[in-house]
Chain A
Amino acid sequence: MRGLLRTRAGQARRATMLHGQPVGRPSTVLHVMGLALVFIAVGMGVCALIELASTNRDSGALGLGALTSGGVGVLLWWRTREGPTRNRDVFAAVGWTWVTMTLFGAVPYLLAGTFATSGAGFVEQLVNSIFESASGFSTTGATVLADFERPGRGLMMYRQLSQWYGGMGIVVLAVTVLPYLGVGGLDLMSAEAPGPSSDRLAPRVSETARRLWTIYVLFTLVIASLLFAVPGPSLYDSLAHALTTAATGGFSPYANSIGHFDSVWVELVVIAGMLYGGVNFALHWRAGRGDLGAYARDAEFRTYTLVLTGAAAAVIGVLWLSEPLGGADAIRAGLFNVVSFGTSSGFGIATGVDSPGNYVLWAPAAQMVILFLFVVGACAGSTSGGITIIRMRVLFGHVIRSVRRSQQPRAIVAVKHGGVAVPEDVVSRMAGFFLFYVLLICIGVIVLTMLGAEFETSIGTAFSMLGNMGPALGEAGPTSTYADAFSQPARLVLAVFMLIGRLEIFPMLLMFAAPCRAVSDALHR
């Protein structure tokens, strides 16, 4: 015990000497959380300046939000230092960081009175602010905002920025400046990054995280430039939509989303951006280094293109045959919505309830394809949500193997992905993930219907929230807000679902493990 204490004391001294930090309580959870809050505060501060320079309605709220987040963040970061990075600490760090981010991220909305509609009390405003914040950071894109004219431009930019932060992951950002997390850093990234595993782009974890963020920033800038180049969007619009396109988030400063511009060119740029954002960033890195064949060699990418092509063809075909739409309208509405949901973005092009882009009014078969895309999602290691293509492939292989083994019990059959055998523990983990996914959908649908939502809306929304899509089916379609479709408690449940979906279930379920163990140890002592 004495030796252990000595070691810990030594670690603390070393940390002080190397990084110049004061010796604090060892806690990876609080340390990462503090850093994440500082990042958010920086974002809020920048948006406060934008607000100050433009509409100047909500600059106070943003500034106060920045001060609160920054203050608490600095305090946490300052008073703690790196702690153990056992699995339970990793899950707790990621899970609690996202919960804290969501709560602090809601402060500007609350202070600005964004949801202070007539008759809305403090509790309703709080719930709506948390919902909007969760939707932002989880890159879901669902909104309870009814009046898009009310918030200032800075606050709307903050809303967009929250999705941009969430797209690549705030913890990944934290890892870039926490190189001393070592092996734990990779675990943290893996726990946060979408997909079953995060590819290492460099020997050092912090370097991998830095490269990922570099691609992300460049990608955002390219989309912003392209949007600015085409007729329609202003600089503000270009930047705002680039942030959420790169993050495959789906927020827009306008009620009609991309439909606001009613421009094919804008839609094409956004489609290209969403498609790019739905691909594993490791592939982008390799392609950036000149290996363009990496895309074609990747089995997941091939399936991704196949799924999107098939879905687009099916939807366009159904729209063409069953809806009173012309060919061009069918192609435009079908292609945009398929890419939007196939990459879990959630942008819309519906300009009104009767608009061709309002997929809620489409034929059931086309809606079913959209629901299928809610489930599947895009590639692992991208900014998209959903079960992800790689998992679907492995699960399909698992089914085939189980049947083959039923026929030939002694057969040794490996589940393969891209010609490589997938380790058994990974297959098992994916099957476990899928079970939790199904379980959560069932629970979600029952709870939402119990809280007063319609059955069809509940089904669509449960899938949409877990896949971080944004708009759903029924009353939660692209032309309506979640405030109309769901009660206050239901909105809170949905906020939790969004975070569970963004962190891919396990971290949110296991975030209580470390605190429980700590309490248990304390009680034992």
Chain B
Amino acid sequence: MKSPPNPSRSRLRALDPRRPRADSHILLTICEGLAGLGIVSALCAIAGFLDDAGDSVVLGIAGVLLTALGSTARVKLKRRRRPTTAAVLSGLAATWVALVLAGAAVYLISGAVSRVDDALVEAAAGFSTTALTTLDPGELSVPMTLWRASTQWVGGLVGILTGVVALPMALQGQRLNPTEWSGDHNTFARGKIARRRQVMAVYLGLTAVVGAAFAATGMGAKHSAVHALTTISAGGFSSAPDSFASFGTGSAAVATVGMIVAGSGYAVVWWAIRGRGKALIQSVELRVYAAILLLGTLLVWRGADGLSWHDSLFTTASAASTTGFAVADWTSQHDAVTALLLVVIATGSMIGSAGAGLGISRARILVAFARRELRRQLDPGSVVVLKTAGQAVDDRAIERITGHQIAHLATCASAAGLLALAGVDLLGAIYTGISVLSTHGPGIGVGSFGNLEDFSRPARLLLVPFMLAGRLYLVPLMIGIVWIVHAQQGLRRELRALLRVRPERLASSALFARRQE
């Protein structure tokens, strides 16, 4: 019996007074990202018009086009109320790719970069907040310098939104970060849009405060703006070729504070703004972050030659927040210092911050998990519940975190292997592989100031996917791997099925078919 006809979607659409809109979460996310970039480009064009009209025109046109694209998309497209996990993750990855392509196009059209591969690397470094560059920032015009810094600012914002809004919701309520996020102190907005606004307001406010602080140290408007944009985003691009080595101690002090704030989670910043001192004190992740900074500074200061305590703190803060600024050439320091900084870079910043890396919270849970496994060796039947911030961490979250950590290391190894294949020396390949995946950038191989001039063209290009993978917490990359494995398994099944069909079986089936006839 046929079910009674329901009013079809098209009929409902027809009844809708608004125009019917296609349902595509991925396209809409891409267009929103591009629109954001368009607005930023237009602002940069206006700010730098007096310095270089040509570049400003290019940026202005790019801004108008991208904003128009975003607006059109908002009219034409709509987002399902609850997109699938795959759609959200694919949308994120696609947005980043689109941003990089658009950014590379702007670099090429403006003439700031002459080669396509260099333009791609520069754009990817920008949007992934990695402090690697192929050009001399001192030679860029004001609008292009601002725009270059803005790419990192956009990348940092999207990174925080990914960690705070998109991923937790994409994973359908699973706790991505089993820390204080769901504790009593969680005062974030529950809704996606409200939380996004909260994050953007805090991000903008912090950028303004840091910019003003830089200006107060006598940096000048251009440098202040550029460094404010790249400090809060934990980006690391500078308007000077030798980063903060060109500026005074006051500017470095502001940058240190800014980097520490950028590396601390959005939750911490929010609590600080709301005056929740108790929550700040009780945050275990924040305490670990502080301990890493203090201990790292102490060890770097003790081990390094010619670095003052504030330079050591700057270098450690840059590594812990995965920013990538440098106040001195730390890669030529004692090997113990560079080794320690590599571990700090790999550990990364707090969850929900603009920084990347493994994440302190995840690292803590991994250590607790390892201890549990050690205890289980002694007493295999024991039931040990892992707790963090007084709350039990469920096994699914642990499984996800261990899986993520293994994938992170495997990706680092792949990056190092490919870089070595492209001719980078062994240590440089390992260091750069880890550093790039943490979206830090500088290190042994590329130097303290992140200039890629010593890298071959294939080596530079190889960095692009790893920069993006690091910024996106590997998730799209891992899904890609799963897809490949599935495809391979499917192919193997098909092959086996084909091989199983033997000639005699074919013959007997033909005979059977004939008999049936």
Contact = CB atoms under 8 A, between A and B. Distances in A.
B168 to A, nearest CB: 12
A405 B399 contact: yes
Contact of A449 (B339, B367, B400, B426): B339
Interface stretch (A2-10, A257-265, A276-284, A392-400): A392-400
A453 B427 CA distance: 14
Contact of A435 (B370, B376, B404): B370
B479 interface: yes
B108 to A, nearest CB: 31
Contacts of B339: 445-446, 449, 455, 458
A200 to B, nearest CB: 18
A398 B378 contact: no
B204 interface: no
A434 B335 contact: no
A365 interface: yes
B85 interface: yes
B409 interface: yes
B481 to A, nearest CB: 7
B172 A409 contact: yes
A361 to B, nearest CB: 11
A514 to B, nearest CB: 9
A57 interface: no
Interface stretch (A167-175, A333-341, A505-513): A505-513
Interface string B422-442: 011111011000000000000
A446 B406 contact: no
Nearest to B425: A364
Nearest to A457: B335
Interface stretch (A218-226, A344-352, A425-433, A481-489): A425-433
Q: Which of B377, B406, B475 has the most CB of A within 10 A?
A: B377
Contacts of B141: none
Given A450-B336, A453-B335, A402 B402 contact: yes
A403 B396 contact: no
B343 A446 contact: yes
A401 interface: yes
Contact of A431 (B85, B336, B367, B369): B369
B420 A409 contact: no
Interface in A362-407: 363-365, 367-369, 371-372, 375, 395, 398-407
Contacts of A400: 481-482, 485
B509 interface: no
Interface string B384-424: 00000000000010011011111101100100110011011
Contacts of A432: 369-370, 372-374, 376
B421 A365 contact: yes
B148 to A, nearest CB: 31
Contacts of A367: 420, 426
A372 B413 contact: yes
Nearest to B405: A435
Interface in A89-122: 91
Interface in A460-481: 473
B335 A449 contact: yes
A72 B485 CA distance: 56
Contact of A401 (B403, B416, B426): B403
Contacts of B425: 364
A438 B434 CA distance: 14
B406 A434 contact: yes
A438 B475 CA distance: 21
A406 B174 contact: yes
Interface range for B: 35 or more
B379 A87 contact: yes
A406 B171 contact: yes
Interface in A431-457: 431-436, 438-439, 442, 445-446, 449-450, 453-456
B343 A442 contact: yes
Contacts of A318: 421
A88 interface: yes
B335 A455 contact: yes
A365 B402 CA distance: 28
Contacts of A455: 335, 338-339, 427, 444
Contacts of B444: 455
Nearest to B176: A406
Contacts of B511: none
Interface string B168-200: 000110100000000000000000000000000
B135 interface: no
A494 interface: no
B475 A406 contact: yes
A431 B374 contact: no
A435 B369 contact: yes
A95 B339 CA distance: 30
B373 A459 contact: no
Contacts of B298: none
B491 interface: no
A144 B478 CA distance: 44
Contacts of B340: 446
Contacts of A438: 409
A318 B418 CA distance: 13
B250 to A, nearest CB: 33
B366 interface: yes
Contacts of A436: 370, 373-374
B426 A407 contact: no
A521 to B, nearest CB: 15
Interface in B330-347: 334-336, 338-340, 343
Contact of B403 (A402, A408, A429): A402
Nearest to B424: A364
Interface string A133-144: 000000000000
A395 B408 CA distance: 13
Given A435-B366, A506-B374, 19 more contacts: A87-B377, A88-B378, A91-B378, A398-B406, A399-B481, A403-B407, A403-B481, A425-B376, A428-B373, A429-B376, A432-B374, A433-B373, A435-B405, A449-B334, A449-B336, A454-B335, A455-B444, A456-B426, A513-B378
Interface of A: 87-88, 91, 318, 363-365, 367-369, 371-372, 375, 395, 398-409, 425, 428-429, 431-436, 438-439, 442, 445-446, 449-450, 453-456, 458-459, 473, 506, 509-510, 513
14 contacts: A87-B380, A365-B420, A371-B426, A402-B403, A402-B404, A403-B479, A406-B85, A425-B380, A432-B376, A433-B373, A436-B373, A438-B409, A449-B335, A473-B426
Interface of B: 85-86, 171-172, 174, 303, 334-336, 338-340, 343, 366-367, 369-370, 372-374, 376-380, 396, 399-400, 402-407, 409-410, 413, 416-417, 420-421, 423-427, 429-430, 444, 475, 478-479, 481-482, 485
